[in-house]
Every structure is written in C-alpha cells, then in structure tokens.
Structure 1
Amino acid sequence: HWTVFLLVIGLYGLTYVVDLFPRGDPSRDLIWWFHISFGLLLFILVILRAGLRLTRGAPGLPSEMTPLERWMAKLTHLALYALLVAIPVLGILLTWYRGDALSFFELFTIPAPFSPDRTTAGFIKELHSLCANLILILAGLHAVAALWHHFIRRDDILKRMLPGALGS
C-alpha cells in the first residue's frame, strides 16, 4: 500500500523535475530513465498486489459501514487498481511509440516492437497524463475518506492502513 503510494508520488514528482533541464541534457535523460524504470517497478508491484488480493481476498470492511460506504469503497479501490495498471501500460506504449527501447534499471531492455509514431505518442501521452492526474485526485479522496473514518466515525480504517498493520 505505502510503497505503491510512494512510487506514484515519486513518479509524478519526476515529471516536474525533468523540466528543470533542457532537452538534450544528460540529466534529463537520466530522470526519464528513472521514471521509466520506477514506473515498471510500480507495474510489477501492482500486478503482485492484485494477484494477492485475488487469491487472498480483500481486507474485510467494518460491519458498521453502510451499504453505500461499502459500495463506494469497492468502487474506489477498483478505480485505483485500474489506474495503477493503465498508467504503466500507457507509459510503456508511449516509450515505444516515441521509438525508444524500454529499460528496467539496465537489467533488461525491450526494443520498441513498432515504428515511432508522433501522433499516436502524443495521444498516449495525453492519456497517460490524464490518468496520472486522476490517480492523484482519487488517492486524495481515499485519504480524506480514511481521515473521516478516523476522526468522525472513530473506526479502525485508518489504523488498518498504517505500515505494518493487518491488511496493509
């Protein structure tokens, strides 16, 4: 939970750091390399987390939650998982449509399986950015809901989300 959160925030931050360097600067290329490598790491962790959730089930929700709250919690988690899969997939496609190979911390490299296409890359870049913004909004709402549960409802939802807690 928290590793995924930190990766999402870090990846988002890298997109702003890269703008500090002019095009062609080796530092800019290095930042994109980190962005792509950590994006792939995020994708791997999300697939593993989703697999665990499918095999072990989701943590149970408190019985005092209303049916509407349960429905909203399930919908929010589904949307978060969908975005956590879509964003790296779009990033992979964007890298390839730009004509670049995909490198994972230089442990392995996958060349682009198709020719560069600026129009398609531009469209994918917009989708990638839109999904990145949506996940920040949704994660913010998720955090607000956890705080609401903690301070208003006074249940253990937030405590269960803390590092080392059951279900985190």
Structure 2
Amino acid sequence: MNAIHWPEGYLPGFTENFVSNEVIVRGLTAAQVWPLLAEPQRWPTYYANSANVRFHAHDGPPLADGVCFFFETFGFPVEAQCNEFVPPAAGAPARIAWHGWAGEGDTRLDVHHAWLIEDLPGGRVRILTQETQKGKPAEALAKQKPNPMINGHQEWLDGLVDAAQAGNAR
C-alpha cells in the first residue's frame, strides 16, 4: 500500500508527537471522499472539532498547493498552508497535506497533517491520515491518556466516511 510523503523535519519518530489513523471501507471511492477533504469549509459539517475555516488572499476553496488558510481545532487557532494536493486519478492515490502552526515560543506548535485516499480492489477505499507535531504542546499531547489526537482524528475519519456514504461529497 502507498505511504505518506514526509517533508524534511517531520518524519515520524523524530518529532514530539505522531498519530496515525486508517479505515478501509467497502462501497466508497476516493472520488466520493475527495471533495469533503479538499474543501475545508466542509470540515465542520462532519467533524465537530473543526471550526471557523477561512482562506487568506481569497484563495480556495478548494485547497491547492500553496494555498494559505485558517481553522480552529483542538483549541488551537491554526494557520496552515497546503503543501500537497493530488486529486484522485486512476491507479494513483489522492494526497492532501498541510503544514499548520499556532502559538509562539514555548506555546509554538508545528504540524504536518497528511491524508492519503486510495481505491482498493473489490470496491473498497483506504483513507489514511497521519500527523507529526513539533513543540512543547506536542509533547504534552503525546503524553495524554487517552491520546486526544488519535481519538480526534478517528472522529474525523468516521465523520468523513459517514458524510461520503450519505452522499454529501457532491
């Protein structure tokens, strides 16, 4: 199976926090899932932990390489820039990723959040989301039990699948 492309400095195991969530679902395609991720203003409609999505410089929606945007999640106001945007295509996985940051000094949090969506044989789709985090807030998040990032990203995946199955990707 395909894997996430990690930018320099964000390889899992070399950051303060790393989370990985994945689902494989029958009866959906990457093309059905894609719009729900590619258009961040849709995130709050199926994931309660995202809010106040705004694009800078009248960019978007949808996302594209280099597009800057803002959203709130896990109590953090996140500035973000899309740095990977590959829509689904026959025989190749869809990819979307952004670098996000919040805070300054000891409260600074930097993340690379990536998604991979690929059609699998038998009418199935695989949705993988992984995030690496750097900074003191990332250290604190990594130590929390249960891990709020793993649980939050699972809620995002579950909501994404439910929305795609309900036909909200049109």
TM-score, normalized by the shorter chain, greater than 0.5: no
Greater Cα radius of gyration, structure 1 or 2: 1
Give the strand-richer structure, 1 or 2.
2
TM-score by length of 1: 0.29
**Comparing both structures, which one devotes a greater share of its residues to helix?**
1
